[in-house]
Homo-oligomer: A and B are copies of this chain.
Amino acid sequence: MSIERVAIIGLGLIGGSIGLAVQDKIPEIRTRGWDVDADVRRRAGERGLVQQVCDTAAEAVADADLVILCVPVGAMAYAADAIAAALPQGAIVSDVGSSKASVARALRHALPGATIIPAHPVAGTEKSGPDAGFADLFSHRWCILTPAPDADEAAVADLAGFWEGLGAKAEIMDAEHHDLVLAVTSHIPHLIAFTIVGTASDLEDVTQGEVIKYSAGGFRDFTRIAASDPTMWRDVFLTNRDAVLEVLGRFSEDLTALQRAIRNGDGDTLFELFTRTRAIRRQVVEQGQDDARPDFGRKDH
């Protein structure tokens, strides 16, 4: 692997975790970082998220051979612009955005001629900011690379090797297919969680206090997802609009069918679905994608 100097632009949950993971797992790679927010830069320095927190984006990327943009997808163009003048010839530019086709377009536009290999580590928590990152965030998680068809193969291999060095498993995927898969496995689940938490807090006949008090019946799981970073998620929905609307249409159809089954007292339809979904959980756990312990093994108090 030829990557020796990585620059991390944006030092929140993901950028901070990359910085900590590199220092922990591939300490021979030098880490520099920058964040547009001076408070975040200060906190990143205190926590040692990267070896050197720089005052400007240009300084951070000056001699990097890998630059990773870890900002909300709506800010990718701005971040790319901030590094454009100082970007070394031949450096790989990557990102961690949750939607890929629109980000790839934005980066190609802002950085003509650069070696751009978009990527998306499928990992995170509901926390955000420079205090949220930790070195093991990517362990056993997938990182999906979405290189253009004509991308430099050695650069793709280098980036895949970098992510595997952080404990992730790398996968190559077409950007449009990525956006559809993630609409299903991440974007729509978040949208639904945001919606139901909003619905619950707006009812007239049930108070918000009651909703919170009795949330252990299932609702509390949705509040965790709905606590995710608002800026990041606004941008995901705006930039992956078509895939999100397509999957949302299917979800709404299916929900309408279940609504009708409930109205008609059709228990067989409900039972058949609930049995099928149980089997999918089993596979998620078997494939190491979730904690096998009941209730995620969480402690309630």
Contact = CB atoms under 8 A, between A and B. Distances in A.
Contacts of A247: 199, 203
Copy total for this chain: 2
A226 interface: yes
B184 A188 contact: no
Contacts of A181: 206, 210-211, 214
A123 interface: yes
B276 A122 contact: no
Given A271-B230, A280-B201, A298-B296, A218 B185 contact: yes
A55 interface: no
Interface stretch (A28-36, A63-71, A140-148, A149-157): A140-148
A248 to B, nearest CB: 6
A241 B263 contact: yes
Contact of A244 (B123, B221, B244, B262): B262
A283 B213 CA distance: 9
A38 to B, nearest CB: 23
A291 B217 CA distance: 14
Contact of A251 (B132, B199, B298, B300): B199
Interface of A: 74, 98, 122-127, 132, 139-142, 144, 177, 180-182, 184-203, 205-206, 208, 210-228, 230-231, 233-235, 237-238, 241, 244-245, 247-248, 250-252, 254-255, 258-259, 262-263, 265, 267, 270-271, 273-278, 280-284, 287-291, 293-301
24 contacts: A125-B294, A127-B294, A142-B216, A181-B211, A182-B217, A184-B203, A185-B214, A186-B214, A186-B219, A189-B221, A191-B258, A193-B277, A195-B254, A198-B254, A201-B276, A221-B224, A224-B290, A224-B295, A227-B277, A234-B271, A238-B270, A252-B252, A288-B300, A291-B300
